[in-house]
DNA sequence: AAATGCAACAACCGCACTCGA
DNA sequence: TTCGAGTGCGGTTGTTGCATT
């Protein structure tokens, strides 16, 4: 039993949008608001798939979009965020008002990658190119489960986590080359050493929450607060993450951009 | 002027996640 | 608890326009 198609492909237009289609979509969303993308095309009189309408609106027609070239500040911010978040374009876009994930992704692939390469930096690892092949232990958040399964699968044949390639055994170390946080695994020390700005109202935020991600399955606030002797829940940490004493991620509150949550558009 | 190569970006596709019945 | 619809995300492809030969 396969997945049902998102739309009836036989009667939908594809390719570039016409001015008339754009106008219809804008008019419909102005009148009825966003949402119900599947039923929108029919209601708006468009021969388009709902996903296509959503994409067109989000990436091109939304009134709050900032068109035009990226500034040098935006460039640097994207690089910093990419070094922290990897290819999480929607999260990166959440930090750049008026920019979309698609736009940033395209810009990264066409401009920034080359810019970093010309600086001698590997765009995937944000390390000097000549260091790229060195042993690096990285931590992945999103793919941790899958990677664990892969490793378990591999371990059926080689329990120490080696993969075989062209008769060579290569240690599996760089599991997420695009998210190199240059972190080291060590006993927790945040209780003593974390700067005050990393805490909210006396509570400590996990890394995920410090990024502004809400209700993430990767959130470890409860673990941390327990460890810190607090009885507060992770949600209370979340609710405090935007207050005046919240973590100033990348100095955004006081720096280039105003702090805003990473809630999706 | 025509052919070709390349960069930029809009759009598509498939998978994963969330949520309600 | 399960399942399906709806939606979001990231990777990839297709199209267009400009530069070069």
Q: Which pLDDT tens digit goes with each residue over A167-225?
A: 333 333 333 333 344 444 333 333 333 333 334 434 445 554 555 544 444 455 444 44
Protein CA A198 to sugar C1' B19 (Å): 33
Protein CA A15 to sugar C1' C14 (Å): 8
Taking the model in full, what pTM does it have? 0.60
Q: What is the per-residue pLDDT across A169-178, written as a single tens digit (0 to 9) for each?
A: 333 333 333 3
Q: Is the CB of A17 under 7 A from strand B?
A: yes
Q: Which of A24, A56, A58, A60 lies closest to A43 in space, CA to CA?
A: A24
User: In chain C, which nucleotides are within 7 Å of a protein Cβ?
Assistant: 4-12, 14-16
Closest CA to the C1' of C16: that residue is A16
pLDDT reported for residue A106: 85
* Nearest nucleotide relative to A86: CA against C1': C10
Examine domains A19-61 and A72-128 and report if their fold is the same: yes
User: Comparing A243 with A9, which gets the higher pLDDT?
Assistant: A9
* Nearest nucleotide relative to A54: CA against C1': C7
Q: Is the CB of A110 under 7 A from strand B?
A: yes
User: In chain B, which nucleotides are within 7 Å of a protein Cβ?
Assistant: 7-15, 18
* Nearest nucleotide relative to A105: CA against C1': C10
In this prediction, residues A120-140 reach a mean pLDDT of 65
pLDDT reported for residue A7: 55
Protein CA A114 to sugar C1' C11 (Å): 19
Closest CA to the C1' of B6: that residue is A110
Ranges A52-56, A63-67, A131-135, A216-220: which has the least confidence: A216-220
User: Which overall architecture, per CATH, does domain A72-128 show?
Assistant: Orthogonal Bundle (1.10)
Q: Is the CB of A101 under 7 A from strand B?
A: no
**CATH label, A19-61, candidates 2.60.120, 1.10.10, 2.60.40, 3.10.280:** 1.10.10
In this prediction, residues A115-143 reach a mean pLDDT of 65
- Asked if residue A112 has pLDDT above 60, the reply is yes
Confidence label for A6 from pLDDT (cuts 50, 70 and 90): low
Confidence label for A166 from pLDDT (cuts 50, 70 and 90): very low
Domain ranges of chain A: 19-61, 72-128
Protein CA A15 to sugar C1' B19 (Å): 31
């Amino acid at each position: 039993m396969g997945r049902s198609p998102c739309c009836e492909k036989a009667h939908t237009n594809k390719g570039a949008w016409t001015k008339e289609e754009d106008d219809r979509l804008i008019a419909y969303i102005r009148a009825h608001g966003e949402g119900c993308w599947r039923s929108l095309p029919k209601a708006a009189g468009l021969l388009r798939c709902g996903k296509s309408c959503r994409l067109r609106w989000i990436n091109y027609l939304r009134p709050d979009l900032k068109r035009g070239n990226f500034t040098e500040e935006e460039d640097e911010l994207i690089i910093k965020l990419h070094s922290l978040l990897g290819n999480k374009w929607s999260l990166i876009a959440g930090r750049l008002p008026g920019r979309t994930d698609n736009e940033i992704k395209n810009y990264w692939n066409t401009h920034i990658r080359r810019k970093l390469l010309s600086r001698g930096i590997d765009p995937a690892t944000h390390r000097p190119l000549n260091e790229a092949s060195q042993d690096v232990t990285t931590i992945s958040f999103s793919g941790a489960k899958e990677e664990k399964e892969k490793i378990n699968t591999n371990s059926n044949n080689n329990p120490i986590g080696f993969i075989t390639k062209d008769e060579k055994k290569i240690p599996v170390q760089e599991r997420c080359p695009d998210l190199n946080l240059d972190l080291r695994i060590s006993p927790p020390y945040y209780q003593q050493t974390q700067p005050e700005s990393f805490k909210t109202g006396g509570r400590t935020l996990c890394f995920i929450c410090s990024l502004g991600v809400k209700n993430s399955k990767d959130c470890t606030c409860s673990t941390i607060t327990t460890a810190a002797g607090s009885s507060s829940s992770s949600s209370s940490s979340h609710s405090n993450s935007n207050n005046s004493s919240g973590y100033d991620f990348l100095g955004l509150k006081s720096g280039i951009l105003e702090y805003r949550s990473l809630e999706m558009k």
